[in-house]
Amino acid sequence: MIAPLIKGLVLGIFLAISVGPVIFAILKQSINNGHKAGYMFVAGISISDISLVLVCNFFTTLFNTVLNHKTFIAVAGSIFLIAMGIYTLFFKKVHTDEDNNLVDKKFRKRDFAGIFLSGFFINILNPGVFLFWFAWTAAILADSQTAESPTQYRAIVFGTCLAFVLFTDIAKVALAARLRSKLTRRILQNINRLSGLILIGFGVALCWGILAYGDQIK
C-alpha cells in the first residue's frame, strides 16, 4: 500500500521538523551527557508517542477525558520545562578530565531510567502533542474507511510516521555526539545557558498560551 506509506512519511517529516522544546532537549542531553544518554532520552520520547497513538486509536474515551484536563497538563508540563531550564541554566555541571577535555559522566542504571522518564514526560506533558495526535488520528481514521483493510492502513501510516521520527531523533543524537568532540568547556557552558533559557521560554509560553487561549481549544 503506497498511499498510507507516503502519508505516514509526510506526517513523520512534519512532526520531525516541527520546532519545540523536545528538539532542544535532545541536543542538550546528547551534548552534555553523551550519546548513550541521548539514546535513552529519545527512547522515552518514542515510547510516549507510541502510547499516545495507541490511546488515540483504541481508547478514545480515555483520550477525551485527558483532553478535558488539558489546563492541568499544560501547567504541569510548563513547570517541568521551567524546572529543567533552571537546572540547566544555573546548576548543570560540565564534566572534564585533567586536560580540560569533555568526558562522559558515569551513569548508573537508575540514572538512565531517570533520563528515559524525562524524555517520556517532556513529550507527553505537552498538550500540543496530544492535540497533534488527536487531530491526525481522527483524519487517518476517516481516511482508512475507504481502504480494503482499515486496520492495516492505520498501522502502516502510524508505523511509518513513528519509525521516521525515531530515525531522525537518533540522527540528532549522532550529530550532537560528533559536535561534542569539538566543543570546549566554555562553549558547552554557553550552550547550557542558551538551552536553559529556551526551555524556560517554552515553559512560560506554554503556560501562558493554555491559560489565555485554552477555552478556545476544542
The domain locations on the chain are 2-216
Q: How far apart are alpha carbons 170 and 186 in whole angstroms?
A: 26
* Cell numbers given for 96: 572534564
What residues have CB less than 8 Å from 44, skipping those under 6 apart? 115, 116, 117, 118, 119, 120, 121, 123
pLDDT at 211 (0 to 100): 67
pLDDT at 66 (0 to 100): 62
What's the pTM value of the predicted model, to 2 decimals? 0.73
Q: How far apart are alpha carbons 67 and 210 in whole angstroms?
A: 12
pLDDT at 161 (0 to 100): 92
Question: Each residue of 196-214: pLDDT tens digit?
Answer: 787 788 778 777 766 665 5
pLDDT at 218 (0 to 100): 46
Task: Supply angle C-alpha 41, 8, 39, rounded to 5.
Answer: 15
pLDDT at 120 (0 to 100): 92
pLDDT at 68 (0 to 100): 67
What residues have CB less than 8 Å from 153, skipping those under 6 apart? 1, 4, 140, 143, 144, 147
- pLDDT < 70 positions in the chain: 1, 19-20, 60-70, 73-74, 92-105, 181, 183-185, 209-218
pLDDT at 217 (0 to 100): 47
